[in-house]
Structure 1
Amino acid sequence: MSPTDPPTDQNLLTVRGLQKSFGANRVLTSIDLTVARGQVLALIGPSGSGKTTVLRCLNGLEVADGGRIEIVGADAAATAIDFDAATAAGKPVPRKALGALRDQSAMVFQHYNLFPHKTVLENVMEGPVIVQRRPRAEVEAEALQLLTRVGLIDKKDSYPFELSGGQQQRVGIVRALALRPALLLFDEPTSALDPELVGDVLRLIKELAAEGWTMVIVTHELEFAREVASEVAFVDGGTIVEHGDPRQMLRNPQHERTRQFLHRLLFPF
């Protein structure tokens, strides 16, 4: 399965001035980013810098307090929310608008978030059948194809507790792909895995990047980001401090705060 190939001369994702607070805690100060169709953006930064909140706002799991998000789907139609306008009007963002935003992306979570009472196949089929209301037979055929691709067809009737962490994460990726999103979002996809299980998941994500999927990935795997990402952005204090080509930026960052972070990550002791 590969993403549909609409016009390539446009950004798939555009974010301007994204803000988010939880009570008195300002998590996102002002996030600006763009991701071209078929490109991969890796977000790096310390814990608490706002990386995961960015993903959750992009997926509509969190409602931003300000700024604007626009995603241009496979049909070249734009889905956009102006959070500043909603705040100025003193009205909540309509659920329909958040739903439209969510329809354009799919999230792969750090801790898998599979339904424990459903089989692998049922987990993969849930969103396309229940939320997207696609024909069950069509969804099942596609789900079986995707599970075969990632080497888990023999686990289709298993439950999450019967799988290893790496297998659960691959199911999580398949579940996201089954939604046919314009944008794939990954939140530290390997951080909960044992070291020997990391490779399979990273190889699968690398394959998806090579196929042209547009992705935003929160990761601490610097070598992976260097190999896979089209661009790396360093997030700190709720804003993007520095961004650029991963081979250049990870080797020779221009901002002192970025240099400090990379040094601490590479030499923790």
Structure 2
Amino acid sequence: MTDLLTVRGLRKSFGDLQVLRDISFDVPAGTVTAVIGSSGSGKTTMLRTLNALDRADAGVIDIGSVSVDFAQPVDRATLARFRAQSGMVFQSHNLFPHRTVLQNVIEGPVIVQKRPKAEAIEDAKVLLEQVGLGEKADQYPYQLSGGQQQRVGIARALALRPTLMLFDEPTSALDPELVGDVLRVIKDLAADGWTMVIVTHEIRFAQQVADQVLFIDGGVVLESGPPAQVLGEPSHARTRQFLQRILDPI
């Protein structure tokens, strides 16, 4: 299976704080990678470097045909091609409140990618149906639940036609009863063969959907492998401690 994403020697500091120390991993095309770890472990920063929302200080990231060595100067054209490879879904949906659902979804394709508006609208309608919100196209974000807004956020990322989907704890800001609808959409994307990297605290969801799990601790990948191994029979004491606290917090 060909790797869509390869990461080698990723490092990132904020001032004197070294957040990513030496991150390396591969993501085969058509697979789901779940990233777990405690708050402050570096997992969200790592995800953001994959889209250059946070520019890594060093390390090589290959996504599809685009390769960037962040230890070297990167020109704007290369950085734009790199960012175009992935779509990001954030913890908070970040929708434009003064625009309808449909207008939110077509914003990127029309404004950023300069695609014809009619084509973007047709694509958006298909994507909204895909995430179960076809009838909400003309509504505004304030008229939607948090879970519905997050599903619009997923459709908006898909509308950019990325090769890689990135999710930063997509259910962490939702009420518990709304989590299932969002997770079902992500499961459907996995079944459709999307390549995804998902930072999540939903351990059982990771067990069901992920092809591999990365446990990040102290800015390094402390353990990685299939869910049955990392989540079921972890080899590292720190991984076992983390999972015990998550799954049996009392």
Provide the TM-score with structure 1 as the length reference: 0.91
Q: Report the counterpart of residue 53 of structure 1 in structure 2.
A: 45
> Which digits, 9 at most, give the CA deviation of each residue in 1:12-43, with x for residues without a partner?
00000000111111110011010000010000
1:40-119 correspondence runs (5 A): 40-72=32-64, 78-84=65-71, 86=72, 92-119=73-100
2:161 to 163, 180, 193: 180
CA RMSD of aligned residues (A): 0.9
Unaligned runs of 5+ in 2: none
Question: How far apart in 2 are the matches of 1:180 and 1:95?
Answer: 20
1:138 aligns with 119
1:19 to 6, 11, 30: 11
Q: How does 1:1-269 map to 2 (within 5 A)?
A: 9-72=1-64, 78-84=65-71, 86=72, 92-269=73-250
CA distance, structure 2, for counterparts of residue 124 and residue 19 of structure 1:
33
Gaps of 5+ in 1: 1-8, 73-77, 87-91
Please report the TM-score for the alignment, with normalisation by the length of structure 2.
0.98
User: Where do 4+ consecutive residues of structure 1 move more than 4 Å?
Assistant: none
Secondary structure of residue in 1 paired with 2:35: strand
Deviation of 1:149 (Å): 2.2
Q: Secondary structure at the match of 2:232?
A: coil
Distance in 2, matches of 1:54 and 1:117, equals 32
| Conserved? CA contact 1:28–1:237, under 8 Å | yes
What one-letter code is carried by the residue in structure 1 that aligns with 2:32? V
Matched residue count: 250
Alpha-carbon offset, residue 242 of structure 1: 0.2
Structure 2: distance between partners of 1:251 and 1:182? 30
Paired residues of 1:60 and 1:99 also in contact (CA < 8 A): no
Identity, in percent, stands at 64
User: 2 CA distance for matches of 1:151 and 1:223?
Assistant: 23
Taking the aligned partners of 1:238 and 1:148, their CA distance within structure 2 comes to: 39
For 1:186, what is the secondary structure of its paired residue?
A: strand
For 2:143, give the aligned amino acid: E
Partner Cα separation in structure 1 for residue 45 and residue 77 of structure 2: 21
**Distance in structure 1 (CA, Å) of the matches to 2:212 and 2:183:** 17
